[in-house]
Amino acid sequence: MIDGLDARILELFTREPRIGVLEASRRLQVARGTVQARLDRLRDTGVIASLAPTVDPAALGFRVTAFASLDIRQGARASVAAHLSRIPEVLEVHTITGQGDLLCRIVARDNDDLQRVIDDLVGDDDIVRTSTLIALSTVVAPRILPLVESAATPPSRSWSTRGITPGESDRNSAVVP
Amino acid sequence: MIDGLDARILELFTREPRIGVLEASRRLQVARGTVQARLDRLRDTGVIASLAPTVDPAALGFRVTAFASLDIRQGARASVAAHLSRIPEVLEVHTITGQGDLLCRIVARDNDDLQRVIDDLVGDDDIVRTSTLIALSTVVAPRILPLVESAATPPSRSWSTRGITPGESDRNSAVVP
DNA sequence: AACTCCAGTGGACAATCTGCACAGTGGTTT
DNA sequence: AAACCACTGTGCAGATTGTCCACTGGAGTT
């Protein structure tokens, strides 16, 4: 899906988001248009899902993160989903295999507040049982770069054979106006 | 921590990241400097944790998401953490309460590939037991705006009393040069 | 009541960047 | 061989950014 240059672009923009296309092209030793085209394609293909700023719930005062596993009544998935999406502290919900039916990522201001959120959570009669795991500390913070690099493995791809290796940028003769 | 204007700024930049400070100030009916100052402060206070592009693992070919709960040997947390951070498919790890000791968010190319990732995962002898939950579907996609809105305390705060209500922007007389 | 503090306003400036276009090059594919 | 495609280097107009400035008005303080 992506090649080494894409990975380097993603890495650069992840580390220094405000860098801009022009400066990025300088750092990567490629033409500005190339970086621009790559970025456009990365957005078009969905690799770059969003350019939205990442908001830290902790900085908003929600210092507790927890994962709640919910057992729900058969066929009530949709209604439970609607219920959950109405709770702001529910950041993410997945259907999962295993004992539980749903796994929610939730936040709260503190442990007492977490109780309130959980009470909100289980306010739906279609939720049969819940089990909550409180995140005590973050061992590996959310990251994506290692995966990006591992996804870029093949040094060359059909739609991008050149521009991978740094230092070959001025091989073309310049266009004389 | 944040007020209504901050929330509206975050919402605007989340929905339309490429909007720019100038256009944002027009939409929000406030002075450009205000938006700029708010954004600076949101970054300084950590509310905006990052401006990095959000990369979608699925678009990189990692279509399977799973959560792995790991029981680890006493006191081996640090070494296990190091082990986990060496695996690119491990996107996030938390220490948790409850039966397991660690909760990992992992991705893989497909179900077979997930087995490989899990094998990598349990390659550490300090990991005693694992239990994996595969995410079958996303019921509520990762989101933050509802929380932002709920965090936006009453219309006024100590360091931001004005500029909340639209339509009052041109109340001040202009500075005549 | 007078005063200070602070966030917001409207404006101005230079410097920079973006979006877009173009022709030429060279590797790959048909 | 011809077509195709990605990349390069370049140019340009328009827009935006970063950073000043002086002033206004509300809130809290002395």
Q: Which residues pair with B134 in a beta bridge?
A: B66
CA distance B82 to chain A (A): 9
Question: Measured between alpha carbons, how far is A15 from A164 in angstroms, rounded to an integer?
Answer: 20
Question: Measured between alpha carbons, how far is B106 from A142 in angstroms, rounded to an integer?
Answer: 11
Helix, strand, coil shares, percent, chain B, to 5: 40, 25, 35
Q: Would you say B127 and B59 are in contact if contact means Cβ atoms under 8 Å apart?
A: no
Question: Measured between alpha carbons, how far is B145 from B164 in angstroms, rounded to an integer?
Answer: 18
Report whether CATH 1.10.10.10 matches the domain A4-53: yes
Say whether B91 and A151 touch across the interface (CB within 8 A). no
Write down the pLDDT at residue A153: 66
Mean pLDDT for B153-166 is 42
Q: Residue A146's CB: how many other CB atoms inside 10 A?
A: 16
CA distance B28 to chain A (A): 18
List the domain boundaries for chain B. Answer: 4-53, 57-135
User: Which of B163, B157, B161 is closest to B29 using CA atoms?
Assistant: B163
Mean pLDDT for B68-91 is 96
Tell me whether the CATH fold assigned to A4-53 matches the one assigned to A57-135. Answer: no
Say whether A56 and B49 touch across the interface (CB within 8 A). yes
Say whether A62 and B151 touch across the interface (CB within 8 A). yes
pLDDT mean across residues, chain B:
88
Can you list the residues of chain A whose pLDDT is less than 50?
A: 155-177
Q: What is the secondary structure of B111-129 as a DSSP string?
A: HHHHHHHHHHHTTSTTEEE
CA distance B101 to chain A (A): 10
Identify the residue whose tokens are 């708010």.
B38
Mean pLDDT for B150-161 is 58
Say whether A98 and B58 touch across the interface (CB within 8 A). no
Facing residue for B92 by CB, picked from A13, A137, A140: A140
For residue B169, pLDDT over 90 is answered with no
Write down the pLDDT at residue A98: 81
CA distance B152 to chain A (A): 9
Write down the pLDDT at residue A154: 61
For residue B113, pLDDT over 60 is answered with yes
Q: Which of residues 62 through 121 in chain B touch A, CB cutoff 8 A?
A: 62, 65, 67, 77, 81, 84-85, 87-98, 100, 102-105, 107
Facing residue for A97 by CB, picked from B13, B46, B134: B134
Stronger pLDDT, A22 or B160, i.e. the higher one: A22
Write down the pLDDT at residue A171: 32
Question: Measured between alpha carbons, how far is A12 from B148 in angstroms, rounded to an integer?
Answer: 28
Q: What percent of chain B has pLDDT over 70?
A: 86
User: Which of B55, B66, B50 is closest to A151 using CA atoms?
Assistant: B55
CATH number corresponding to A57-135: 3.30.70.920
* Band of pLDDT at residue B161, cut at 50, 70 and 90: very low
Q: Which of residues 5 through 64 in chain A touch B, CB cutoff 8 A?
A: 10, 13-15, 17-18, 45-62
Q: Would you say A93 and B93 are in contact if contact means Cβ atoms under 8 Å apart?
A: no
For residue B120, pLDDT over 50 is answered with yes
Stronger pLDDT, B94 or A100, i.e. the higher one: B94
- State which protein residues have CB closer than 7 Å to strand D: A 5, 18, 29-34, 37-38, 159-160, 162-163, 169-170, 172, 174-175, 177; B 20-23, 32-33, 36, 158, 161-162, 171-173, 175
Question: Measured between alpha carbons, how far is A35 from B149 in angstroms, rounded to an integer?
Answer: 36
Chain B residues inside the 8 Å CB shell of A1: 59-61
